[in-house]
Structure 1
């Protein structure tokens, strides 16, 4: 992939219907950076399905990128990108048809907390983040004043792992994966051996493996 640095490429990413096109800016041990002419996209290598160079007839002029909003690092890595983006207004894409806008507030072993105007504290499994797009440092969500949308720390004590964090929500009403499926909204009854039991509105239980849970939040 290093042979394609500073060249126009098309990238197929898990969960995205259309390929991402832009200039390949940097490659780290577990993440790479694309600039599409407007913004920098940080994409974990875990979700790279295919990267190809755009041919001359397909290629577009993505321009010369400015300095990235995140501080440059000599050894680019997924965790370092999250740490650099902490407290910076960003857009994250997890899957489905929508992205979420807000701030990374905490980073744990295998998940991070993302604070947004819509979801408040959103707990995101690191393995399911498809892309991170940081905004200009002077930009705020929906042009809100900082007084109206401060970066609040999560009121819930944080565990080291995503499974342990879900255990803290046992007995509480939760929403999984942004509520994209009605069966993923309900009472979190238990978390045992990487499987959660979620009680739906009709009182019936659904069992979901932890590997297939992207996010969790309390409405």
Structure 2
């Protein structure tokens, strides 16, 4: 079966982290699927799609479909995650990375294996591309937390970022940082360095903590 033959059908996907999404399969690109859930278009990296099924008619009726907004991508062009990230740059966006909560803000820069994200709550964040589960561009008139554009005075044009996630983390040496939105206390501390694929932090009790780079999803300074 060719997967693209199911475009226009209703599906249910399981995403990494035991998250489930149901909706209309709108498009399939080189590394990304687009699903309309009745309200928003979700751009989902294929690498995080654990499994999917076609929905039966009784399950389709449970999905409330409002007027479908215009997708951010052009249907005449094959989509990719990097292309979607580029199109979303500067647009208010919801992204899902960790297993506990979504992040709201906008993309500032896209690097080799991570992107820079501005959140009104966490400020400048570095997000691993490998751990991005999905992305939802806001509708035109939406703002995170009801804020106005003037409440988000972000000018990052003069700031340079490293090309790789690893080097960007190394640049934070000596800073008090938070990994993965602080899911537990061992992900918060003073950055000491990166060696043999492990980041060394000094925790609140002054003991060293070693974190595998492969499991770092988000980074922000306190």
C-alpha displacement of 1:39: 0.4
Hey, what's the Cα distance between the residues in 2 that align with 1:98 and 1:154?
28
CA RMSD of aligned residues (A): 1.5
When the two structures are superposed, what TM-score results if normalisation uses the length of structure 1?
Answer: 0.94
Say whether 1:121 aligns with 2:124: yes
Q: Is the 8 A contact 2:40 2:69 kept in 1?
A: no
Instruction: Give the equivalent residue in structure 2 for 1:24.
Output: 25
Q: Is the 8 A contact 1:16 1:95 kept in 2?
A: no
Q: Is the 8 A contact 2:95 2:134 kept in 1?
A: yes
C-alpha displacement of 1:62: 4.9
Q: Is the 8 A contact 2:73 2:79 kept in 1?
A: no
Instruction: Give the equivalent residue in structure 1 for 2:14.
Output: 12
Q: Is the 8 A contact 1:96 1:180 kept in 2?
A: no
Structure 1 stretches lacking a partner, 5+ long: none
Hey, what's the Cα distance between the residues in 1 that align with 2:183 and 2:97?
11
What is the DSSP-based 3-state SS (H/G/I as helix, E as strand, rest coil) of the residue aligned with 2:47?
helix
Hey, what's the Cα distance between the residues in 2 that align with 1:15 and 1:151?
32
Instruction: Say if 1:156 and 1:194 are closer, same or farther in 2 by CA, change over 3 A.
Output: farther
Structure 2 stretches lacking a partner, 5+ long: none
Hey, what's the Cα distance between the residues in 1 that align with 2:138 and 2:64?
18
Hey, what's the Cα distance between the residues in 2 that align with 1:100 and 1:155?
24
Q: Is the 8 A contact 1:115 1:152 kept in 2?
A: no
Instruction: Give the equivalent residue in structure 2 for 1:141.
Output: 144
Hey, what's the Cα distance between the residues in 2 that align with 1:54 and 1:132?
23
Say whether 1:168 aligns with 2:171: yes
Hey, what's the Cα distance between the residues in 2 that align with 1:155 and 1:212?
30
When the two structures are superposed, what TM-score results if normalisation uses the length of structure 2?
Answer: 0.93
C-alpha displacement of 1:25: 0.3
Runs of 4+ displaced beyond 6 Å: none
C-alpha displacement of 1:138: 2.5
For 1:1-219, list aligned pairs within 5 A: 1-17=3-19, 19-60=20-61, 61-63=63-65, 65-68=68-71, 70-72=72-74, 74-153=77-156, 156-219=159-222
Superposed CA deviations along residues 89-147 of structure 1, whole A, max 9, x for unmatched, are 00001122211100001100000011011010010000000010001122222221211
Aligned length: 217
C-alpha displacement of 1:208: 1.2
